[in-house]
Amino acid sequence: MAGRIWNHFSRTGGNVSNQDYEEELRAERSYVAGLYSRLDAERARVKGEYQAALRGDGGTLVERDVAVRALAKQVKRLDVADSGLCFGRLDSVSGERSYIGRIGLFDEGNDYEPVLLDWRAPAARPFYVATGANPENMRRRRQFHTRGRRVVDFTDEVLGRPGGGERGDAALLAAVNAPRGDGMRDIVATIQAEQDDIIRLDHPGVLVIEGGPGTGKTVVALHRVAYLLYTQRERMERHGVLVVGPNPAFLNHIGRVLPSLGESDVVFATTGDLVPGLRVTAEDTPEAARFKGSLEILDVLAAAVADRQRLPEHPLPVELRDVTVRIDAETARWAREEARASGLPHNEARAVFTEIVTYVLTERAIARISRGWFTRSDREAWEQLREDLVAELAQNADFTAALDQLWPVLTPQALLAQLYTSPERLRAAGADPALLRAEGDAWTVSDVPLLDELVDLLGPAGQADRAAEREREAEAEYSAGVLEILQVERHDLMDDEDHLLAQDLLYAEDLAERFVEHDTRALVERAVEDRDWTYRHVVVDEAQELSEMDWRVLMRRCPNRSFTVVGDLAQRRSVAGATSWGRMLDRYVPGRWAYRSLSVNYRTPAEIMAVAAAVLAEFAPGVQPPESVRACGVRPWARPVTDGELADAIEEFVREEAGREGTSAVIGPPGVPGALLPSQTKGLEFDAVLVVDPGRILADGPRGAAELYVALTRATQRLGVLHRDPLPRALVGLADTGAPAGTGSARSA
């Protein structure tokens, strides 16, 4: 590809021959090979220091611990840099050359002159933003195509005022025309000026990036994270980054991008993964999803909890050794009022409820047991009897059963499952009847934010309390061990006046934090298993699908409200999703969110975008489709088939595309064998796409038009349509086009 583009420059006014190109290529291969030699040497040096730190060579315990952690991160970053270490070169108008890559490398023998610039460094910015109109004092941008450690070829762009027909967009078009792989291509080297401005935007709050299909908004978001981790590493790396996507296939698709840039402290999750240990197995009706996604459900959850805080219809007897006492409605009402007024979560407020009931019952028991033999003036006897009664109540099965009836210990899963399966409880909580279902614990994605909300409303149950106690005991044991070690090392830390140096003091808060740090699991493992983990930054892709309740969950996960939000309101499928960004964000970050849009479509060729734009105009006439930067020369086609012909037509498409380089997909409504649903392809891209039964996609649910728009915009090269019903009005232009030869499912029926 690059060789052909180079020759194109020659034919259109350049004076570079094929021989010159081959000589340049050999020189670049030699330079990049030298970079890899430096990388290997640096890796060996860091690994040696890491092994020495593990052995405990020199320094205090604290210093060695810090060194081990820092060196481990360096080792990891150097390892991931191996693939595609250098991806381009900048030539300035003054003749200086700068090579751009995944990490920075320096010449130690030449005053640490950079031999490779980290792509996030300010000096690398022209590599992304320089254009013919604004060359940033650069003359040429060269982009490498590598395989392993070898430069295969390269593409040059002449900046400023290209002469003789030279083009400034050749490398970009080479990248977007290249066949797609199984995962998202790492396109650091082809980030354009519009995108780079967003990546490097200095905004501390929520940044919303909106763009239509193919505008690269996901890539921009991921590279923005890498840039923030690079420029704000100390602030961000200890808590990591959360990336939320629409489905597992999408997360797998993008999951290689950040690690390939050297960033590994990143958790990838769907909204269904945000409650640890929960497994989503069912799907809500649109009515149930809308109600669960709205903030109306908060009142329902609070009412459902309150409904479990009961008053007895009849006094509940509690048989003690010497007397029988009863819990009546008046006592339970007083205890309930006090427990609710405490402001504690339900399970923790049970202690307040128990305390009040215990007080009333012991008072009544003492009055009956004493029978006038002693009064409150006999304080010692009175208090001893009270103490005995309190202990007896704590062990009394009747008393425990009464408490469980009036103020039960609840878990989020049990409460919600019992609510969903009981019409009476739903009515008592003021819930929409659409929430009723046969299997209460058949969880849906919309249940996740409700369960997360209930964690805070209920507080920990007994098992969680015991786990927390075990954690506190382990922490105390660890802290004691650290203090013992510090005592041993204390003499090494004393100055001449026999005082412990201030920078070596370790206080209680430090010990607690160090206990957490000594968890041997990687950050990602710890974060995934901890519901209370908070992140320094959160990326939300396909954010138009998130409900108001989903946003509550994410805001809990990021208290400092640092977000990169990516979406396209025109592609919204969920009935509970966003109709405007302000509606979702103003509640949490009023005045702290910024909006940026991407208008250039790098993925979808003009021929395909014209088809999708007609669908967009039908359901969102006020939305401007993104402008495609290229044409592919292949017209989209449509073909009518019968029920009996459909399977063979799909098989024909699959067979022909299997012989091509790149990827392909069949997308259709439910019931089409082997087809992906449009919702499963959100954020994905394929060289060729076959859309089956577009009319049935339109008819499938309230957002069918958005689903069809998504399906039509997944292809980067070739698009075909099979239809058993008449084509929708927006696609009638395809009705009689037939299918061009050799495109898969191309021949007439």
Please give the single-letter amino acid code of residue 74: Q
Cα(375)–Cα(388) distance, integer angstroms: 17
Find out whether 215 and 600 touch, Cβ atoms under 8 Å. yes
**Would the annotation count 292 as a binding residue?**
no
Give the strand order in the sheet containing 537-540. Answer: 266-269, 241-244, 537-540, 563-567, 206-211, 593-598
Residue 260: HSE in the Cβ half-sphere, 13 Å Cα cutoff:
22
Cα(120)–Cα(553) distance, integer angstroms: 31
- Calculate ∠ Cα 616-622-627, nearest 5°: 60
Cα(421)–Cα(434) distance, integer angstroms: 11
**Rg from Cα positions in the chain:** 33
**Would the annotation count 211 as a binding residue?**
yes
**Would the annotation count 131 as a binding residue?**
no
Q: Name the nearest CA neighbour of 541 among 179, 255, 333.
A: 255
Q: How far is CA 398 from CA 165, 351, 355, in A?
A: 92, 17, 16
Residue 52: HSE in the Cβ half-sphere, 13 Å Cα cutoff:
11
Residue bearing tokens 């650091």: 188
DSSP, residue by residue, 208-266:
EEEE-TTS-HHHHHHHHHHHHHHHSHHHHTTT-EEEE-SSHHHHHHHTTHHHHTT---E
Cα(516)–Cα(266) distance, integer angstroms: 18
24 membership: H or E segment, kind and range: helix 18-55
Q: Name the nearest CA neighbour of 717 among 647, 632, 615, 652.
A: 632
What 8-state DSSP symbol labels residue 123?
Answer: G
Find out whether 597 and 210 touch, Cβ atoms under 8 Å. yes
Q: Name the nearest CA neighbour of 674 among 656, 696, 648, 698.
A: 648
Find out whether 693 and 639 touch, Cβ atoms under 8 Å. no
**Would the annotation count 215 as a binding residue?**
yes
**Would the annotation count 293 as a binding residue?**
no
The two tokens of residue 730 are 């927006």
Q: How far is CA 275 from CA 269, 282, 309, 452, 543, in A?
A: 10, 16, 25, 6, 19
**Would the annotation count 255 as a binding residue?**
no
The two tokens of residue 385 are 């009897």
Residue 459, sorted as left (phi over 0), alpha (psi -120 to 50) or beta, turns out to be: left
Binding-site annotation, residues for ATP: 211-218
Task: List residues forming the annotated binding site.
Answer: 211-218
